[in-house]
Structures are given as structure tokens and as C-alpha cells.
Amino acid sequence: MTDDAPTNDGQRFDRLPETPADREVEGRASRAEVLDWWDERFGIEREVFEGYSFWEKGAGKVWIFNGETTDPSEVEAIGMTFLRTRQEHWKPTGRAVSRFGSRATKNVIELDPERASRFAAGDDQDLPEWDGDWGYLIATHEVAGESVPIGVGLYLYDELRSVVPKGSRADLPVVE
């Protein structure tokens, strides 16, 4: 890599390259890797994201956009925050999980009503009975007869940590 190679400008949106072979900015995730990651981690098929474009702004923050592509150097936001990359374990945003998580087929943890309320409040909880993968999981609960994603949990050492951002936490009654 030479000194004049393109680098990530954290202040503006840049489109993700299609594949790792197209990558010009060091460390930037490619569209193909993003789609592979959702498929491998949660079983959400690549086709779900076919019409969307993906953009990086900030260090590793990936946005998903469904509109016509732009020259987004002068805009505040395009679409919504989707995934945190440039770290060992990529982390989906709670909004992405809320929007697309109902299509997940693995690494989904269904919580009972009492646990669901604690999770939404941001509490960590012991959950030794989980025998699936460690790492980021989609926490769900049942509402009106269907499973609905609540947000992102981090499962480590028999414990489910709620990583619901402070501004999105809620004190909700337990709905049996």
C-alpha cells in the first residue's frame, strides 16, 4: 500500500465495493462480505438485500439505503445504520435487527415475557440453558402470536448481555 492510496474519510458516505477484489480503501467491508455475513450469522438470504446499496461513514459504520444513489458527500444520512465493521466481530445494529431480523433462521434467542422486559430495559441476565453460538444474537419474544425481534444481545459465559442502546431502552410491563 502506497502513501497515496485512498483512505476512509469518516465524515462522508462512500459506497461499499462490490467484492474484496474491488476494494480501494483499506479495511472497508465489501457488499459481498456484508451479505455473506448476514447469511452465515443469521441465515438471512442474500436476496433479501438485493435492491439495497451499502455505504460506510465513520470508522466501520455501514448504512443500508433503498433509494436512488446519490453523491452523498453533503448529506446527513442515507437510509439507516445497519452494521458495525472494522472490528473482529461485526455487530448488527438494533434497528437492522428490528427491520430484517424476523427473517433470521439461526442465532436467534426467544425470550419469555419476563426476560423480554428485562432485555428491553438493558439488563444483562444469566442464561446458562442457551447451547448455541456465542457472540451477537437476535433476541426475540412473542407478540400477538408471532415472534418479533427486540434487539441485539451478546452471549458470553452463560450470560445474555443486552446491547440495546441507552436511548432505546424501555421499562415495559411483563406481557404474559
> Residues interacting with other proteins, by CB under 8 A?
52, 64-81, 95, 98-99, 120, 143-145, 148-150, 167-168, 170-173, 175
> Shortest gap between Cβ of 3 and other proteins (angstroms)?
30
CB 113, CB 174: distance < 8 Å: yes
Contacts of 34 (CB under 8 A, 6+ apart): 16, 49, 54, 62, 83, 85
The helix/strand/coil state of 87 is coil
- Pick left, alpha or beta for residue 170 (phi over 0 → left; psi -120 to 50 → alpha; otherwise beta): beta
Taking the least distance from each CB to other proteins, the nearer of 27 and 73 is 73
Taking the least distance from each CB to other proteins, the nearer of 148 and 156 is 148
Taking the least distance from each CB to other proteins, the nearer of 23 and 147 is 147
Report d(CA 11, CA 74) in Å as an integer: 10
Grid cell at residue 96: 437492522
CB 152, CB 164: distance < 8 Å: yes
Report d(CA 164, CA 58) in Å as an integer: 20
Grid cell at residue 123: 439488563
Taking the least distance from each CB to other proteins, the nearer of 51 and 128 is 51
> Shortest gap between Cβ of 84 and other proteins (angstroms)?
14
> Shortest gap between Cβ of 92 and other proteins (angstroms)?
13
Taking the least distance from each CB to other proteins, the nearer of 46 and 132 is 46
Report d(CA 52, CA 73) in Å as an integer: 19
> Shortest gap between Cβ of 4 and other proteins (angstroms)?
26
> Shortest gap between Cβ of 93 and other proteins (angstroms)?
8
